[in-house]
């Protein structure tokens, strides 16, 4: 065993032993603990979180080492491990500030380091080390023009077989990636990166870094938005493996609890309904639902009371003055009406008593004289307030108001005056009424309004069916209307974060939001994102050149500008780590055909496998695809193979593969569904058919860049 491996094995052995001891200590504490109060429960929650971190840290418990010019040596790992008796840490957490030079130091900027070592492990065993000298301490002038950190370890990781699940990259993050991971979280960050640049893994590691650096974010959690449930399954193990559980994963279609779109719609309809103009249109619509300033007649305990238009108008203005939701303003207005009614009833009673007194002055005079000469021993009556002079005491007025608020007749009248509203009902009403739609959305042309109303959902839509573009409109309406049962504000989270609780609330406010494949979001979907993180602590990653959605933006300013304004920063990932050079060389003409002004990212690795292509007839296509998949499966034993095809061919090809014996494990997907995924080898079927679709050159760019080793194309003659 080489000396370096032997040395690092000793460190790894100590780390495994220390980890086991920490887990045992936590288990003992948890077994004996009692969560009798909030402080105790919070402490136990932190202990469980720490145990989860340690449990998931087996792979990469120690993966790196940095040697400083001051002879201080630090070992890095997935989680931090304390040393014995308060000594320096045995292992430094990769997210800690002390670990950053491991990712950012270069020979030209060594940052106080003389060496960086990558330690490759398999479970509890060190299987290799890769040393990088920094500076010229070894008497050489070193070049870092390639920009790679730990090239040997990086390329070894990239050459590993794909398993169908995304892995972590804490040991191989590159400098431009680490800059994104540790960027300031106070300003929205838009990360532009082409295929294979590691956008997704960078975004997920950024979540882990932020939760480590800013623990308060865990109280509200982090929302990760992906393009599909298949994609979320693919990345699902990354954050738990990094020890992070305060995370909710969703797609834009699943953000509103209880709503799952199933109704198809045309691209034209989806594009119109995704425009930013709907935010203002829906605001106008909800404002029009507020009652007019008119007299209000209310009957209480058999007596009719009329509130003047001026009093009603003042109540409505006061209720709406704080920018409250419809239902919050309704509650405030109803409370004010109760006050007005109580005042009116009290005034009526005082008036009636005054009139009665005018008719009985002589009688009252004789009674007063009698009382004045009565025996001093007469007991007092105890009468006061309205019982004596018609004037209500404060207690009596409060009791009267309580009776008014509880009166069913009053409640029924006020419900008719200012009714509660359901977002689903209101959206169905709006989308199905052409005249109403034109009034609240004058930005739409008559033809566009007709497109929307002709595709409107059925009138009874509270349980669906909804289209995907309806979800952001429902969300916006729900926000403008507010919760009729809990109108006081949004859910910001208290105590331990529970992902299921957060996911079940449409109005949960998250500490941070990550958006993957962000180029696909419509302006209205972006508003959904901002509603869930009003602080705009948002990280979005994507590639504007891979946009396939119906929305017409072609640069990031168009994509995010309406929701984020000018308060966002852009970062670029320029190096392609996944897709081999042989494949990336094919993409420049495709990008030009797509109208892009960007260059494809620079590939840093070669697979040594030249892309291949063949032509077959339509009848031969299923057999040709099956044969190609079987060959790739044999060549990449233990890896993955994927098939990307036009939508019209997916079902036939999937059935053909399913009928093979044995069944080759290879999903057949459209380019849109394959976005964000990767396989060892990819078969792109009918590339001309993919390119012929809407935004088809962008789709073909996606399809060509899914592989890490081999690309095959099968065209149809």
Identify whether 465 is preceded by a cis peptide bond (ω within 30 of 0). yes
Q: What is the rounded CA–CA span in Å between residue 132 and residue 441?
A: 62
Position 163 scores a pLDDT of: 45
Q: What is the rounded CA–CA span in Å between residue 165 and residue 237?
A: 7
Are 423 and 471 a contacting pair, CB within 8 Å?
no
Angle between helix 277-288 and 523-531 (nearest 10): 70
For residue 453, give every residue at least 6 positions away whose Cβ sits within 8 Å of its Cβ, in sequence order, or none. 431, 432, 433, 434, 437
Q: Is 28 helix (H, G, I), strand (E, B) or coil?
A: helix
pTM score, two decimals?
A: 0.77
**What CATH code would you report for 581-716?**
3.40.50.300
Position 408 scores a pLDDT of: 95
Whether 207 has a pLDDT exceeding 90, the answer reads no
- The runs of H, that is alpha helices, within 146-228 are 151-158, 175-181, 199-213, 217-220
Mean pLDDT of 259-265: 92
Exposure class string for 7-29: b at 16+ Cβ within 10 A, else e: bbbebbebbbebbeebeeebeee
Residue 447 φ then ψ, to 5°:
-65, -40
Residue 488 exposed, middle or buried by CB count within 10 Å (0-12, 13-18, 19+): exposed
Q: Which of 247, 127, 150 is nearest to 512 (CA)?
A: 247
β 569-573/575-576 pair status = unpaired
For residue 48, give every residue at least 6 positions away whose Cβ sits within 8 Å of its Cβ, in sequence order, or none. 30
Degrees (nearest 5) of the Cα angle 191, 278, 531? Answer: 50
DSSP code string of 67-97: EETTS-EEEEESS-B--GGG-S-SBEETTSG
**Could you count the other beta carbons within 10 Å of the beta carbon of residue 532?**
21
**CA-to-CA separations, 411 to 301, 335, 402, 482, in angstroms, rounded:** 13, 11, 12, 20
Are 85 and 101 a contacting pair, CB within 8 Å?
no
For residue 562, give every residue at least 6 positions away whose Cβ sits within 8 Å of its Cβ, in sequence order, or none. 276, 279, 523, 526, 527
Percent of the chain residues past pLDDT 70, beyond the cut = 84
Position 196 scores a pLDDT of: 84
| Domain residue extents for the chain | 3-145, 296-358+388-417, 581-716
For residue 71, give every residue at least 6 positions away whose Cβ sits within 8 Å of its Cβ, in sequence order, or none. none
For residue 234 the two structure tokens come to 């693919």
Q: What is the rounded CA–CA span in Å between residue 23 and residue 79?
A: 13
**145-154, 371-380, 570-579, 696-705: which has the minimum mean pLDDT?**
371-380
The helix or strand, by DSSP H or E, that contains position 716, with its residue range, turns out to be strand 707-716
Whether 188 has a pLDDT exceeding 60, the answer reads yes
Q: What is the rounded CA–CA span in Å between residue 472 and residue 576?
A: 34
For residue 474 the two structure tokens come to 């429902």
**55-64, 364-373, 427-436: which has the minimum mean pLDDT?**
364-373
Predicted confidence band of residue 46 (pLDDT cuts 50, 70, 90): confident
Q: What is the rounded CA–CA span in Å between residue 346 and residue 391?
A: 7
More confident: 339 or 389:
339
β 602-603/641-644 pair status = unpaired
Predicted confidence band of residue 358 (pLDDT cuts 50, 70, 90): low
Mean pLDDT of 50-54: 86
Whether 554 has a pLDDT exceeding 50, the answer reads yes
Percent of the chain residues past pLDDT 90, beyond the cut = 51
For residue 502, give every residue at least 6 positions away whose Cβ sits within 8 Å of its Cβ, in sequence order, or none. 220, 221, 248, 491, 493, 508, 510
For residue 454 the two structure tokens come to 């002709």
Q: What is the rounded CA–CA span in Å between residue 338 and residue 344?
A: 10
Position 384 scores a pLDDT of: 47
Mean pLDDT of 94-118: 87
Which residue's structure tokens are 């009776």?
403
Task: Give residue-wise pLDDT tens across range 236-254.
Answer: 666 665 556 678 889 999 9
Task: Give residue-wise pLDDT tens across range 645-682.
Answer: 999 999 999 999 987 767 667 999 999 889 878 899 99
Which residue's structure tokens are 């045309």?
266
Q: What is the rounded CA–CA span in Å between residue 335 and residue 332?
A: 5
Mean pLDDT of 289-316: 92
Dihedral angle, C-alpha 544, 548, 554, 557, nearest 10 °: -60
β 679-685/707-716 pair status = parallel
Q: What is the rounded CA–CA span in Å between residue 653 and residue 312?
A: 67
Identify whether 662 is preceded by a cis peptide bond (ω within 30 of 0). yes
Mean pLDDT of 494-520: 84
Task: Give residue-wise pLDDT tens across range 123-182.
Answer: 899 988 888 888 654 444 334 444 555 545 555 555 555 444 444 555 667 888 889 999
Degrees (nearest 5) of the Cα angle 435, 439, 443? Answer: 115
What is the greatest pairwise CA distance in the chain? 122
Predicted confidence band of residue 35 (pLDDT cuts 50, 70, 90): low
Task: Give residue-wise pLDDT tens across range 592-608.
Answer: 998 887 788 989 888 99
For residue 14 the two structure tokens come to 């100590």
Whether 428 has a pLDDT exceeding 60, the answer reads yes
Whether 514 has a pLDDT exceeding 60, the answer reads yes
Position 136 scores a pLDDT of: 55
């Amino acid at each position: 065993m080489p000396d370096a491996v032997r040395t690092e094995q000793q460190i790894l052995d100590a780390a495994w032993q220390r980890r086991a001891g920490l887990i045992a200590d936590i288990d003992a504490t948890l077994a004996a603990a009692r969560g009798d109060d909030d402080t105790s429960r919070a402490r136990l929650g932190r202990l469980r979180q720490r145990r989860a971190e340690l449990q998931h840290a087996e792979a990469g418990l120690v993966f790196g080492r940095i040697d400083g010019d001051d002879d201080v040596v630090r070992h890095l790992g997935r989680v931090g491990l304390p040393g014995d008796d308060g000594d320096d840490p045995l292992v430094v957490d990769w997210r800690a500030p002390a670990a950053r030079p491991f990712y950012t130091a270069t020979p030209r900027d060594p940052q106080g380091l003389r060496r960086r070592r990558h330690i490759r492990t398999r479970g509890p065993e060190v299987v290799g080390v890769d040393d990088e000298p920094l500076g010229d301490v070894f008497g050489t002038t070193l070049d870092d023009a390639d920009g790679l950190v730990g090239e040997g370890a990086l390329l070894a990781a990239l050459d590993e077989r794909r398993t169908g699940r995304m892995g972590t990259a804490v040991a191989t993050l590159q400098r431009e990636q680490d800059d994104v991971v540790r960027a300031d979280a106070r300003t929205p960050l838009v990360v532009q990166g082409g295929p294979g640049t590691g956008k997704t893994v960078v975004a997920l590691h950024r979540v882990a870094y932020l939760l480590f650096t800013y623990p308060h974010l865990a109280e509200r959690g982090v929302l990760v938005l992906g393009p599909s449930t298949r994609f979320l399954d693919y990345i699902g193990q990354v954050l738990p493996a990094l020890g992070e559980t305060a995370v909710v994963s969703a797609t834009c279609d699943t953000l509103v609890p209880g709503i799952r779109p199933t109704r198809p719609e045309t691209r034209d309809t989806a594009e119109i309904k995704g425009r930013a103009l709907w935010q203002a249109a829906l605001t106008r619509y909800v404002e029009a639902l507020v009652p007019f300033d008119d007299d209000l007649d209310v009957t209480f305990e058999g007596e009719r009371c009329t509130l003047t238009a001026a009093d009603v108008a003042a109540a409505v203005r006061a209720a709406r003055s704080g920018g409250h939701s419809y239902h919050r303003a309704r509650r405030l207005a109803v409370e004010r009406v109760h006050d007005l009614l109580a005042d009116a009833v009290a005034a009526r009673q005082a008036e009636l008593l005054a009139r009665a007194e005018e008719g009985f002055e002589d009688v009252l005079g004789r009674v007063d004289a009698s009382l004045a000469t009565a025996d001093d021993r007469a007991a007092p009556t105890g009468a006061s307030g309205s019982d004596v002079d018609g004037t209500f005491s404060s207690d009596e007025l409060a009791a009267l108001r309580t009776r008014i608020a509880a009166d069913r007749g009053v409640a029924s009248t006020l419900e008719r005056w200012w009714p509660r509203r359901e977002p689903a009902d209101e959206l169905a009403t709006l989308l199905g009424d052409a005249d109403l739609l034109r009034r609240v959305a004058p930005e739409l042309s008559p033809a566009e309004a007709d497109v929307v109303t002709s595709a409107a959902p059925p009138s009874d839509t509270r349980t669906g069916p909804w289209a995907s573009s309806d979800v952001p409109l429902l969300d916006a309406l729900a926000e403008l209307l507010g919760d009729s049962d809990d109108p006081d504000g949004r859910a910001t989270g208290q105590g331990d974060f529970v992902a299921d609780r957060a996911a079940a609330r449409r109005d949960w406010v998250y500490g941070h939001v990550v958006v993957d494949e962000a180029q696909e979001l419509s302006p209205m979907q972006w508003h959904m994102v901002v509603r869930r993180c009003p602080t705009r602590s948002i990280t979005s990653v994507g590639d504007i050149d891979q946009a396939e959605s119906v929305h017409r933006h072609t640069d990031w300013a168009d994509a995010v500008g309406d929701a984020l304004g000018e308060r966002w920063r852009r970062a670029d990932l320029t190096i392609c780590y996944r897709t081999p050079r042989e494949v990336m060389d094919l993409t420049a003409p495709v990008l030009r055909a797509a109208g892009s002004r960007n260059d494809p990212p620079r590939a840093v690795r070669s697979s040594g496998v030249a892309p291949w292509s063949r032509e077959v007839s339509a009848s031969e296509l299923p057999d040709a695809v099956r044969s190609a998949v079987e060959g790739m499966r044999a060549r990449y034993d233990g890896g993955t193979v994927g098939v990307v095809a036009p939508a019209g061919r997916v079902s036939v090809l999937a059935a053909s593969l399913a009928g093979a014996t044995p069944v080759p494990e290879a999903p057949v997907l459209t380019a849109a569904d394959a976005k964000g995924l990767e396989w060892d080898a990819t078969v792109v079927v009918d590339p001309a058919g993919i390119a012929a679709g809407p935004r088809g050159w962008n789709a073909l760019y996606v399809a060509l860049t899914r592989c890490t080793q081999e690309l095959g194309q099968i065209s149809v003659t």
